[in-house]
């Protein structure tokens, strides 16, 4: 029997894609059932697919587009650079200009190196920490996502059947075939529980190179880390000659100098990515000059040889500098005020719908949970079968009614948005929640 004729352009494309790519894609987040929709063009905070459907983009390419799509200043700068060349085996001035700008945004930023993704930025931070301390192990928060590096991804998908005792969480692999030796080098700590975390860290104090933490971990529930928790990690790493690393790949957008602006301590290293590329692939390692200098190729003894073919390419540097100059203090303030408004109106939608749900987040990042009380850590975040089904129903409803969200029901605002788009989101959220309730 011959296959049925595709019902849409998107279905036809997906049938072709499945023949040549595992799952028909190179990034799982674009998948939908029965097939993904394919983008045609985008402007500001609106995306139009090849079927002609127009949606408000609250996903912003997994929080990486701080100004939405096709910002005229970024287009102009990138077009100008495109005519000059996209990549060279020569240095470019724009790398220096952009480095100077990023360093100026926070006093803890002393030196920087560019890479090509958030995963690579985190990986380089961990390798730098090992090189600086001469120690093998790292510690990370249970459930936190830090990219695809073997060590950084440990326990980001652990479940009740394998996550172990909360006083000593197990190191659980994500990818089948992860070496047991890699798992042994990763110590897992609970989120926002300073006492339990320090007790675990103390058992490995002579082997730990660093503690890696996201100040607003998406996979843990988009709950801000408490200042008490971060202070405790800072004090422990200082007392035990280990490094404190902040993963600000996503959270840099929440404040002018990153989420760390809201805390009383500074890290030794910070990993960056997503929005600092201005719409292009990017990553960066930034931090104390003593630590960053393990990558200095001019040193007598280079502890961490570091390079990359497309690192600091002028296209990314040009787009990134334009985007971050636009994201000045007044722009950060305006966007965060819009996010505060979004929190208020969505909370009202939840109240009117009369359904167990809540909103978490900070800055321009918010997440809806189908729970009456906000989860406090990864284990409380875990959804039961009912919540999983309800979440899918809600996300499908929003998508079908013109709203693009991150697949955890998280939304990342952009400077292209106004209260108009937020009001549409709140109205459709109310309708979607009523559908679940009924």
> What percentage of the chain reaches a pLDDT higher than 90?
95
- When pLDDT is averaged across residues 360-382 and rounded to a whole number, the result is 95
Report the CATH number that the domain containing residue 350 is assigned in CATH: 3.90.1150.10
Q: Known catalytic residue: 9?
A: no
Q: What is the pTM of this model?
A: 0.96
**Domain extent at residue 354:** 37-66+329-437
- When pLDDT is averaged across residues 138-164 and rounded to a whole number, the result is 95
Same domain, 299 and 408: no
Same domain, 304 and 381: no
Helix axes 419-437, 385-400, angle to 10 degrees: 130
- When pLDDT is averaged across residues 210-223 and rounded to a whole number, the result is 97
- When pLDDT is averaged across residues 104-122 and rounded to a whole number, the result is 97
Q: What is the pLDDT of residue 1?
A: 41
Q: Known catalytic residue: 247?
A: yes
Report the CATH number that the domain containing residue 124 is assigned in CATH: 3.40.640.10
Domain boundary among 271, 305, 326: 326
Same domain, 213 and 79: yes
Among candidate residues 14, 35, 98, 145, the one labeled active-site is 145
Domain boundary among 326, 346, 362: 326
259 CB neighbour count, 10 Å cutoff: 24
Same domain, 94 and 224: yes
Is 428 within the bounds of a domain?
yes
Same domain, 76 and 62: no
- Least Cα distance to 411 among 48, 55, 61 occurs for 61
Distances (CA, A) of 425 to 55, 145, 416: 11, 27, 15
Is 85 within the bounds of a domain?
yes
- Whether the Cβ atoms of residue 404 and residue 53 lie closer than 8 Å to each other: no
Q: What is the pLDDT of residue 3?
A: 58
Same domain, 425 and 406: yes
- pLDDT > 90? residue 262: yes
Site of tokens 């969200």 = 405
- When pLDDT is averaged across residues 72-80 and rounded to a whole number, the result is 98
Among candidate residues 98, 268, 274, 397, the one labeled active-site is 274
Is 226 within the bounds of a domain?
yes
C-alpha span between 258 and 239 (Å, rounded): 25
Is 18 within the bounds of a domain?
no
Same domain, 88 and 41: no
What's the mean pLDDT when you consider all of the chain?
Answer: 96
Among candidate residues 247, 256, 263, 268, the one labeled active-site is 247
Structural domain total, the chain: 2
What are the tens digits of pLDDT across the range 293-338?
A: 999 999 999 999 999 999 999 999 999 999 999 999 999 999 999 9
Site of tokens 């002393």 = 110
Same domain, 223 and 342: no
pLDDT band of residue 382 (cuts 50, 70, 90) is confident
Is 22 within the bounds of a domain?
no
Q: What is the pLDDT of residue 138?
A: 98
Same domain, 210 and 95: yes
- pLDDT > 80? residue 2: no
What are the tens digits of pLDDT across the range 203-215?
A: 999 999 999 999 9
């Amino acid at each position: 029997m011959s296959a049925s004729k595709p019902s849409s352009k998107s279905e036809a494309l997906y049938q072709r894609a499945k023949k040549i790519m595992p799952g028909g894609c190179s990034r799982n987040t674009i998948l939908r059932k029965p097939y993904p929709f394919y983008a045609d063009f985008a402007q500001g905070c609106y995306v139009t697919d090849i079927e002609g459907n127009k949606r408000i983009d609250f996903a912003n390419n997994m929080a990486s587009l701080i100004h939405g799509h096709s910002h005229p200043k970024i287009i102009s700068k990138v077009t100008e650079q495109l005519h000059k060349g996209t990549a060279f085996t020569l240095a470019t001035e724009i790398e220096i200009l952009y480095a100077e700008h990023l360093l100026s945004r926070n006093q803890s930023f002393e030196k920087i190196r560019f890479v090509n993704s958030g995963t690579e930025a985190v990986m380089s931070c961990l390798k730098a920490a090992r090189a600086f301390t001469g120690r093998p192990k790292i510690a990370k928060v249970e459930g936190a996502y830090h990219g695809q590096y073997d060590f950084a991804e440990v326990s980001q998908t652990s479940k009740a059947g394998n996550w172990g005792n909360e006083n000593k969480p197990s190191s659980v692999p994500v990818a089948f075939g992860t070496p047991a030796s890699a798992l042994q080098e990763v110590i897992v700590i609970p989120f926002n529980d300073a006492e339990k975390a320090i007790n675990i860290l103390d058992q490995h104090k002579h082997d730990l190179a660093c503690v890696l933490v996201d100040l607003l971990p998406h996979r843990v529930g988009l709950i801000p880390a408490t200042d008490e928790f971060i202070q405790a990690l800072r004090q422990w790493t200082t007392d035990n000659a280990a490094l404190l690393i902040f993963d600000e790949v996503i959270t840099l957008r929440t404040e002018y100098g990153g989420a760390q602006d809201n805390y009383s301590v500074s890290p030794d290293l910070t990993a960056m990515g997503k929005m600092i590329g201005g719409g292009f692939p990017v990553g960066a390692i930034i931090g104390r000059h003593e630590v960053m200098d393990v990558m200095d190729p001019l040193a007598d003894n280079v502890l961490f040889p570091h390079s990359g073919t497309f690192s600091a390419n002028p296209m990314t540097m040009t787009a990134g500098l334009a985007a971050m100059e636009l994201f000045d203090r007044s722009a950060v303030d305006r966007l965060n005020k819009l996010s505060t408004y979004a929190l208020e109106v969505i909370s009202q939608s939840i109240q009117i719908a009369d359904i167990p749900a809540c909103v978490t987040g900070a800055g321009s990042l918010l997440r809806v949970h189908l729970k009456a009380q906000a989860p406090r850590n990864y284990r409380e975040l875990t959804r039961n079968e009912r919540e999983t089904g309800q979440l899918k129903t809600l996300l499908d409803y929003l998508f079908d009614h013109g709203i693009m969200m991150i697949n955890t029901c998280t939304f990342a605002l952009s400077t292209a948005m106004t209260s108009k788009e937020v009001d549409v989101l709140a109205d459709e959220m109310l309708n979607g929640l009523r559908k679940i309730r009924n």
